[in-house]
Structure 1
Amino acid sequence: MTGQGARIVALAESWIGTPYRHQGATKGVGCDCIGLVRGIWRELYGNEPEAVPAYAPDWAERSGEERLLEAGLRLFGPALPMDAAAPGDLLLFRWRPDCAAKHAGIQAGPRHFIHAYEQAAVICSALVPSWRRRIVAVHRFPVAPVD
């Protein structure tokens, strides 16, 4: 695990137990999967790279736009090959092949990832085949300054 990967995993682990709150992005108070990534970004870089517009819980189904994949490319750069995923990488998921990507998590190890799970909290889940086959993109966080 790289130094930055270990740092990102540690940051993600510090969010575990944060309640699920749609559009939230505050550790210990509430977040959704996008809010978890936003919070980690703030902890790494000091501020968010762009404002996140309000979104409905079913935004991906309604619009059909690949807003999450587009944001991944815009903010993290080209996606990595799936077999290159490493701890600390951003994982983007698509529930069904005919739907837009709408879930995100942080790879925590070869078989686990951390994500905000609806009707629960930020948790560490096993990256079982049913999750693994839904991964549509893997992105590495840009290199962050070291404290």
Structure 2
Amino acid sequence: MTHHALLVVEEARRWIGTPYVHQMAVRGAGTDCLGLVRGVWRAVIGQEPERPPAYSMDWSEPQGRELLWGAALRHLELKDHAAHALGDVILFRMRDGSVAKHLGIQSEVGDTPRFVHAYSGHGVVESPLSAPWARRVVARFQFPDGEAS
């Protein structure tokens, strides 16, 4: 476990209780799942590498375009799917045949894995990475090394 990973988890946990607000990324005021990852990036890495364009709640699902996955590949480091580690950014496909459109940050590993995520109707919460969630994981990423200036 690296110091960098601990910073990611600590920052993600600071967002717990932030209300769910589509397209926002402001700790305490409102965020969605991408906003949480963006906010952690700003705190741990620094300036965001790109501002996301306006996006719909369905993440272009009718067009079948993997926009969220593409953005993750541009800025995060793809990991072995089986190599769970603290601070991982986890990408979920919520339904078979749909695009991947939910993100979380791994906050615990081992026998009781957990993740922090902004969940519609709940805000930012820390949830067990239980079987129903784990089977929806389609990719794992890590933040690039770097510290906020």
Gaps of at least 5 residues in structure 2 are none
Q: Distance in 2 between matches of 1:39 and 1:28?
A: 11
Q: What count of residue pairs does the alignment treat as equivalent?
A: 146
Partner of 2:100 in structure 1? 101
Partner of 2:34 in structure 1? 34
Structure 2 counterparts to residues 64-103 of structure 1, below 5 A: 64-77=64-77, 79-103=78-102
Kindly report the root-mean-square deviation, in angstroms, between the aligned alpha carbons of the 2 structures: 1.2
Match of 1:136 among 120, 135, 138: 138
Q: Residue 86 of structure 2 contacts residue 108 of structure 2 at CA under 8 Å; is this kept in 1?
A: yes
Q: Residue 59 of structure 2 contacts residue 68 of structure 2 at CA under 8 Å; is this kept in 1?
A: no
Structure with bigger helix share is 1
Query: Displacement of 1:96 after TM fit?
Result: 1.8
Q: Distance in 1 between matches of 2:119 and 2:48?
A: 22
Q: Residue 60 of structure 1 contacts residue 101 of structure 1 at CA under 8 Å; is this kept in 2?
A: no
Aligned amino acid, residue 17 of structure 1: G
SS of 2:23's partner is coil
Deviations 1:92-129 (A, max 9, x none): 00012211100000000111000001011100000000
TM-score of the superposition, structure 2-length normalised?
Answer: 0.93
Gaps of at least 5 residues in structure 1 are none
Q: Distance in 2 between matches of 1:40 and 1:145?
A: 11
Aligned amino acid, residue 68 of structure 2: L
Query: Displacement of 1:62 after TM fit?
Result: 2.5
Aligned amino acid, residue 92 of structure 1: L
Deviations 1:58-87 (A, max 9, x none): 22423310111111111113x212221201
Q: Could you list the structure 1 runs, at least 4 aligned residues long, displaced by more than 2 angstroms after superposition.
A: none
Q: Residue 60 of structure 1 contacts residue 102 of structure 1 at CA under 8 Å; is this kept in 2?
A: no
SS of 2:90's partner is strand
Q: Distance in 1 between matches of 2:123 and 2:90?
A: 18
